[in-house]
Structure 1
């Protein structure tokens, strides 16, 4: 099945063992990269309530200890937001679409970037007020995010639309729209650039990326024809495979961990 055929199929779900076979058939060394929310942890109304599915942390650790496998998390969350999951040190953790990296200092914003971030923050605050109760603003080192998942649906949609219009009057930033969120980045990056940086650093022969939301399509797009991309959940995608939900991802990790180390 071609990529375009997969995108147009009616959310065809692959069996976990089918995806396991595809991944274990890749040449080593192997780079396994995962989004977090909706992939390793079920989606929740508020990010602070999110937890990894049972067994996920242990299976990721087991995979990361293999000599020819690198395991990485590439999330839109900040590093502070990812800390709650307790990923072990053998796992590479990149937050803010790759703009932050555990164990590395982030470059301070320039005066121009700081002014831009302040302007974007003001738009985000107004959007949260428009959306009303349940909406909130998340602040990261180089970006600001409007969350409306817990707000009234119509008011939330209106708030996002108005914020989108207002940001178009500014220059030098990028926007990422996800499921009931809109992020303004004063220092532009995306998951495609984040994944490319990981691949450049670790030089894998095979790469796997697993994600569930619109920003993950940027990561899928930088993979080669012999890599593996896995979309989690419904929705149009360019990914080569699809799993139903985070529970399927947990099963995939268990299957991979058994195969990789022969357990």
Structure 2
């Protein structure tokens, strides 16, 4: 069973803050062989601040506006890849001209990496029903996303209780078979035990384009590390936060994500494709 810790660690010194390296990033864009950008974005903690109630999460107005502006540029392909269900993340971002992937890339428009989605839905439902019975803490929420599930415990402030919740989830998932757990910031994700993650979803997007793209991805969670590793060394990974990361750069929070996206809209795409070529 796959597992990762919830602890936060100091960022390795080798991962610079992107806003201190903008000139170097611009030079990297200017010298890249590709003249098209693939921009992948996480949702929670990247476009939208983390909130105690997951159903209340919304992208900041600034991020929504700048993603909209970027979507109108030529020579850029944008995909929002979230742990949320596909329809949920699409509705929350609400920007046309952007592609979406839900459930960590397990939900893609018109295709599925799952050999038997109905069997997975049944397993997820069974696991969620059992967790609802065995976890009785009012600060814990079990979210059934049909082919994955998320156990949220952000509102649980007692470490002994959170440890008990994680232990129960591990046991129930192991008993269910065919599923695996991964951990993020105050959550446990329950997913099919197949070789597919956000990194594989990004590879799937990139393979669809006939033209070579420079891949760039911004995300904050442990599940986004799969993308950072998948696009290395040519691609540009940007980790939101101070955790240890395989990303190329880091930013401090959702507000700095806005700054990076605005730089792309104002300067970065011009550096990549040549002056004047990034306009609609």
Matching residue within 128, 149, 153 for 2:154: 149
My pick for the range that moved more, 19-28 or 232-241, is 19-28
Residue in 1 aligned with 2:174? 168
Alignment of structure 1 residues 69-218 onto 2, 5 Å: 69-102=76-109, 104=110, 109-110=116-117, 112-126=119-133, 128-129=135-136, 132-154=137-159, 155-186=161-192, 188=194, 189-203=196-210, 204-218=212-226
Runs of at least 5 residues in structure 2 that lack an aligned partner in the other structure: 1-9, 271-275
2:265 matched to 1:257? yes
Residue in 1 aligned with 2:4? none
TM-score normalized by structure 2?
Answer: 0.80
Partner SS, residue 126 of structure 2: helix
Task: Check whether the contact 1:124–1:145 (CA below 8 A) recurs between aligned residues.
Answer: no
Alignment of structure 1 residues 13-92 onto 2, 5 Å: 13-15=17-19, 17-18=22-23, 21=26, 24-25=29-30, 26=32, 27-92=34-99
Structure 1 Cα separation of the partners of residues 72 and 169 of structure 2: 44
Runs of at least 5 residues in structure 1 that lack an aligned partner in the other structure: 1-5
Structure 2 Cα separation of the partners of residues 35 and 19 of structure 1: 24
Measure how far apart 1:171 and its partner are.
2.8
Figure out how many residues of one structure are paired with residues of the other and give that number.
Answer: 255
Partner SS, residue 250 of structure 2: strand
Measure how far apart 1:124 and its partner are.
3.1
TM-score normalized by structure 1?
Answer: 0.85
> How large is the Cα RMSD of the aligned pairs?
2.7
Partner SS, residue 194 of structure 1: helix
Measure how far apart 1:70 and its partner are.
0.3
Structure 1 Cα separation of the partners of residues 103 and 209 of structure 2: 20
